[in-house]
Amino acid sequence: MSIPTKNYSFVRHKLLKQEEIAFLDVREEDPHAREHPLFAANLPLSRIEVDAYGKLPKKNIPVVTLDDGEGYAELAAQRLISLGFTDVSVFEGGVSGWKAAGGEVFKDVNVPSKSFGELVESKRHTPSLSAQEVKKLLDDKEDVVVVDVRRFDEYNTMSIPTGISVPGAELVLRLPELAPNPKTKIIVNCAGRTRSIIGTQSLINAGIPNEVNALRNGTIGWTLAGQALDQGQTRQFTEVSQDTASTAAQRARNVADRAGVKRATLADVVQWQMQSERTSYCFDTRTPEEYEAGHLPGFRSVPGGQLVQETEMVAPVRGARIVLVDPSGQGVRANMPASWLAQMAWEVYVLDDVKTSDLTEKGVWQAPLPKLPKVNTVDALTLSNWLKLDSNTIAIDFSTHAHYVKGHIPGSWYALRSQLSDALRNIPQVDRYILTSSPAELSVFAAQELQALTNAEVLVLEGGNSAWTKAGLELEKGPSLLASPPLDRYKRPYEGTSVDPAAMQAYLDWEFGLVAQLGKDGTHHFWVL
């Protein structure tokens, strides 16, 4: 199959004109994070079938796949075409070709959001305090509330002493009851810089009467100052009164209006979802628990703070339309993220006047999937017996490395689907391979590829790893048997509790340089309220 190619000027023209384009870096996350164009969203080759329909809702938008000469871009393009996408090309020359044409390349993940955060601070001089200054306030028992705007699991891993978990989009709604006295000082922190800058500026933009400061450089800055972090904390925000919610709703709506956020109705959304020529992303920005209790059909759960931080992970079509809804928070958690997305040059709408009776779906979001290939399967109990009694059976796990380390079938090998032939050379040759994964569908798509590489019998664990757990069977933890290098996850310099200080400082230095890089790139259209 001959696949057309696209060059630097084509992609740049689309970005400058703010026309829809899915510029997809199809390498694994680690090589992607080491060097990529600003708006090259990461959609690894190994996950295309399970992620494409959710991340690329329209099949006729221009899709350009990118690698760095490994051949993944062609394979990814073929898979996308087989899934029904009609305008698929390969980027000429890969990342090296982008650079040779004068294109700027960026390091790390979530770079559009992180560089936007730095731009906000440079334009608005968002107030901040050093780790030493914040520690003195706490030691002196000053009237201070520390709010951690990361996901709860990140906060739980490590946090500033006394800190309370209040993920970003919840701030304007929850803070008035966490700090009812306007004289209370508010400190906003994340792990590094972006989310604390955006959180602090959100409170300032919304007109909260308290003095608000970001913790400069977050938990990284705290650690580099030689100060101890807490671990395993569980303090979380509380519910708020109707009066507090109404005031917060007015504040958030004012900010959204100033940022040019547009309004939409349910009828608009129904019409947009049927459009073939325009991509619409529909996100519910409340907590996952609220979403699961009842949500609008066709809306995906993406808490607002994470949406601003990780926009390209859930909305890789640059130039698309984004619709946000917050049915149970009077719109606060939609209007505040929407105000930021508008400044990041997205066409963004907030859905108003949603009634409880409209929330007709329950449970977690289910990614839309293509038709699964037919494969031979085995149930969990049979597999368990085989693994105990038959040395000629081996299980191979195609989950993310992080998921594998958290818990996997005892004796199973971790393998990356994109590195399958190399992985197979590291796994003992046996008569029978059983494939498993989380989500279960990943191993179904990998089965045919593996069968083409071996004469052994290839089966898939029905229901994947969750079926093994449901059957009450034990899991093994840790990086036990790695047939592939863990390239699917770029280790953030701020993750975990034992990070090299030099790596943390290098990360901060990189963040400080992002505004200059934005200027060189010139395709972002960001502006600051």
Q: What are phi and psi of 22, to 5 degrees?
A: -105, 100
pLDDT reported for residue 176:
96
Question: pTM higher than 0.85 for the full model?
Answer: yes
pLDDT reported for residue 510:
79
Which segments within 52-122 are labelled E, that is strand?
63-66, 88-91
pLDDT reported for residue 184:
98
pLDDT reported for residue 493:
67
pLDDT reported for residue 506:
77
**One-letter amino acid identity for 50?**
V
In order of their start, the domains of the chain are 5-108 (3.40.250.10), 116-234 (3.40.250.10), 259-358 (3.40.250.10), 377-470 (3.40.250.10)
pLDDT reported for residue 504:
78
Q: How far is CA 30 from the centre of its chain?
A: 14
Contact of 171 with 190, CB cutoff 8 Å: no
pLDDT reported for residue 331:
94
Helical packing angle, 194-205 and 332-343, nearest 10°? 110
**One-letter amino acid identity for 165?**
S
Mean pLDDT by 10 residues, the chain (529 residues): 94 98 97 97 97 97 97 97 97 98 95 96 97 97 97 95 96 96 97 94 98 96 94 95 96 98 96 92 96 96 94 97 92 97 98 93 96 96 94 95 96 96 96 96 96 96 97 95 94 67 79 91 97
Burial class of residue 142 (count of CB atoms within 10 Å of its CB; 0-12, 13-18, 19+): exposed
Distances in Å between the Cα of 291 and the Cα atoms of 144, 174, 266, 297, 322 are 32, 18, 17, 11, 18
